Amino acid sequence: MTRTLTLALLLAGTALPAAALEDGTIVIWTGANRDQDALRAAIAGFTEDLGIEVVVEEVDPDLPQKFQQAAATGDGPDIVMWAHDRLGEWASGGLIAPVQPSGAWTDGVLPSAMDAVTFDGRVWGYPVSVEAVHLIYNTDLISEPPASFEEVASLEVPEGVAPIMWDYNNTYFTMPLLMAGGGYAFQKVDGSYDGTTTGVNTEGAVAGATVLDGLVEDGVMPPGVDYGVMDAAMNKGEVAMVLNGPWAWGALEDSGIPFAVAPIPTVNGNPAPPFLGVIALGINAASPNTDLAVELIENYLLTDEGLATWNGSGALGALADTSAAEAQDDANVSGMLAVAADAVPMPSNPEMGAFWAAMAPALTNITSQAQEPQAALDDAATRILGE
């Protein structure tokens, strides 16, 4: 990516509010674990070139709530860093401003990441990194990951080792099985998510849930597995594979577990796409420094050089900028990006709250054999739509 906005134009200040130049400060809010010191180093050149101070603040916990409260009163940071599904909520509430990234900038970004920050035909944030659930396998226990869940069920592993685990009553981790056959939470219609219909109980979704039910009922996965059980088992070498995200890699490295990543196995011959999560930078609608914020983001922070500095510790995971991601030269990052390229952006409409609330008990009923998959998912659909 190259600089497209000249410093001379910015310094002339003709298009900027006087308050922005008088204030001379841009404030960035991030959550925890984003290597704020490296972020400051990545944008040091902006202050050197323009004389504009940048303040980076870690707001933890409850950044989303704190930003919403502050922005609603015309306060808060100029730039906020969070997951794209909240950006959609903030966009609907008028709390963040739409942006128009330059073509030179967007050309280098993973298309699915740009799609995730696009609502109602407008772009509402700058993608920084992407996260998607994928298969993580212990290379000491299996040499080649299974391509299908049929292969998972027949996988030979050492005695005392489970073939696979994941937090299967958590919809985020299990939704790939339902989406493999065409299930969905909500779909985009003319650029906006339609909250009046859901596909959690389609024929394909039920087929995926039936595969999950069989894995537990047949003993391929033990009953009652949650995230903690799965994570502990993987870090102890007691399970060959898990469905998890890039946030799990660091602990595995610390535990000395050799691992690699791969796509989630197919379901009934169909690829199983996970939800795509995009960590993005949004601009406060009340900010008097919009032009400067865009310059900072596009031409200093989210350049190859800026991202290399910021992500030196790996705190950002897989970068949305494809050229910067390639420069990471990491097989696991490359593998996760391949998964992310085919992932489904997590919907950002308000009805997602009802989706999460309805699906968790439905999956619990399925995996405990309290309900058949069709009945459980029919009940979930009814709850999601408030019928």
Rg from Cα positions in the chain: 22
We report the CATH number of the domain holding residue 320 as 3.40.190.10
- How many domains would you assign to the chain? 2
Tokens 């705190």, located at residue? 315
Extract the tokens encoding 240: 């060959």
Q: Are residues 338 and 255 in the same domain?
A: no
Determine the Cα–Cα distance for residues 267 and 95; give it in Å rounded to an integer: 40
pLDDT of residue 3: 47
Of 381, 387, 28, 377, the closest CA to residue 177 belongs to 377
Per-residue model confidence as pLDDT tens for the chain (387 residues): 444 444 444 444 433 222 232 367 999 999 988 999 999 999 999 999 999 999 999 998 899 999 999 999 999 999 999 999 888 889 989 999 999 999 989 999 999 999 999 988 899 999 999 999 999 999 999 999 999 999 999 999 999 999 999 999 999 999 999 999 999 999 999 888 999 999 999 999 999 999 999 999 999 999 999 999 999 999 999 999 999 998 899 899 999 999 999 999 999 999 999 999 999 999 999 999 999 999 999 999 999 999 999 998 888 888 999 888 888 888 999 999 899 989 999 998 889 989 999 999 999 999 999 999 999 999 999 999 998
Q: What number of residues does the chain have?
A: 387
Range of the domain at 269: 134-273+351-384
189, part of any domain: yes
68, part of any domain: yes
Q: Are residues 143 and 65 in the same domain?
A: no
pLDDT of residue 9: 44
205, part of any domain: yes
Determine the Cα–Cα distance for residues 14 and 280; give it in Å rounded to an integer: 28
Determine the Cα–Cα distance for residues 384 and 353; give it in Å rounded to an integer: 9
List Cβ neighbours of 136 (8 Å cut-off, separation of 6 or more).
234, 241, 242, 243, 244, 248, 249, 252, 259, 260, 261
Q: Are residues 78 and 191 in the same domain?
A: no
Q: Are residues 222 and 371 in the same domain?
A: yes
Determine the Cα–Cα distance for residues 26 and 225; give it in Å rounded to an integer: 45
pTM above 0.75, yes or no: yes
Q: What is the dihedral of CA 321, 324, 326, 330, to 10 degrees?
A: -110
Q: Are residues 235 and 209 in the same domain?
A: yes
Extract the tokens encoding 360: 């968790």
Q: Are residues 145 and 291 in the same domain?
A: no
Determine the Cα–Cα distance for residues 66 and 160; give it in Å rounded to an integer: 47
Of 81, 110, 178, 52, the closest CA to residue 325 belongs to 110
Determine the Cα–Cα distance for residues 29 and 24; give it in Å rounded to an integer: 17
